[in-house]
Copies of this chain bind each other. A is one copy, B any other.
Amino acid sequence: MRTVFQAELKQVGDELVAIARLVRQALSEARSAFLETELETAQGVISNDARIDLLQDELDERSIDILARQSPVASDLRTLVAALRMSTSLERMGDLARHLAQDARRRFPEAVIPERLADDYARLFELDLAILDGVIEMLETRDISFYERIAEQKAQVSAMHRGILDAMGRPDWDAPVHTTVDVTLSARYLERMSDHGIAVARKVSYLVTGQWAPPA
C-alpha cells in the first residue's frame, strides 16, 4: 500500500515537472515570437496553452483522488496540497507566456516594443527562463541550493521592470501611445512570471526544510 502511494506521489511530482517543462517551452517560443516577430511561433504558443491547462486539470484531479483514497498526513499531505498550489502557479505562467505571444501576434509584422528596449527585454526573457530552469531543477532534485539564485534573478527582474517604467516617465520617451500600453503590460507579464516562479521555488523549499524562506 505504501509503495503504491509513494509511486502515486512520485507521479504527481513528475507531472509537475512535465508542466513546468511545457511552460518553459512556451516562454522560450514566446520570446522568439516577441523579439523576432515570428507569427507562426506566436500562434503555436497560443494554441498549445490549452494543453498546459488540461494537464493542470488532470494533475488536480489526480491529487484530489489520492487525498481521498490514501488520506495522507504530515509531509505527504503537505506535498499534495503544495502540488495543487504549484500547478496553479505554473498554469498562470503558461497564461502569461500566451499573453506575450498574443501581443506579438497583434502587432505583427511590427515589433511590440521599441528598438531601444530590445536589450532589456532580451535580458528579462533570459532571466525568466533561468528562473524556470531553476524551478524545474528544484522540482526534480529537491535541491534547495537553487533557491537563492532564483531569488536573485527575481530581484533583477523586479529592478528591470521598475527601470522600464522609469524609462517611460522620462522626457525622451517618444514611442506612440499603443507602444506605451504594450510595454506597460508586457513588462508586467514578465515581472509576474518571476513572481510565480519564486512562489513555486519557495514551496519546494518549504517542503524540504519545513521553514518558509523570507519572501523574495
Interface residue tally for chain A (C-beta within 8 Å):
23
Task: Please state the number of chain copies in the assembly.
Answer: 2
Partner of A180, one of B64, B71, B73, B177: B177
Interface of A is mostly: helix
Contacts of A85 in B (CB 8 A): 84, 88
A149 interfacial by beta-carbon distance below 8 Å: no
A11 interfacial by beta-carbon distance below 8 Å: no
Q: 3 smallest A-B Cβ distances: which pairs?
A: A71-B71, A184-B184, A68-B73
Apart from A64-B78, A169-B178, A181-B184, 5 more pairs, CB < 8 Å:
A67-B81, A84-B85, A168-B178, A180-B180, A184-B185
A sample of 17 inter-chain contacts (CB < 8 A) reads A64-B77, A64-B81, A67-B67, A67-B77, A68-B73, A68-B77, A81-B84, A88-B88, A168-B181, A169-B178, A169-B181, A173-B177, A180-B180, A180-B184, A184-B185, A185-B188, A188-B188
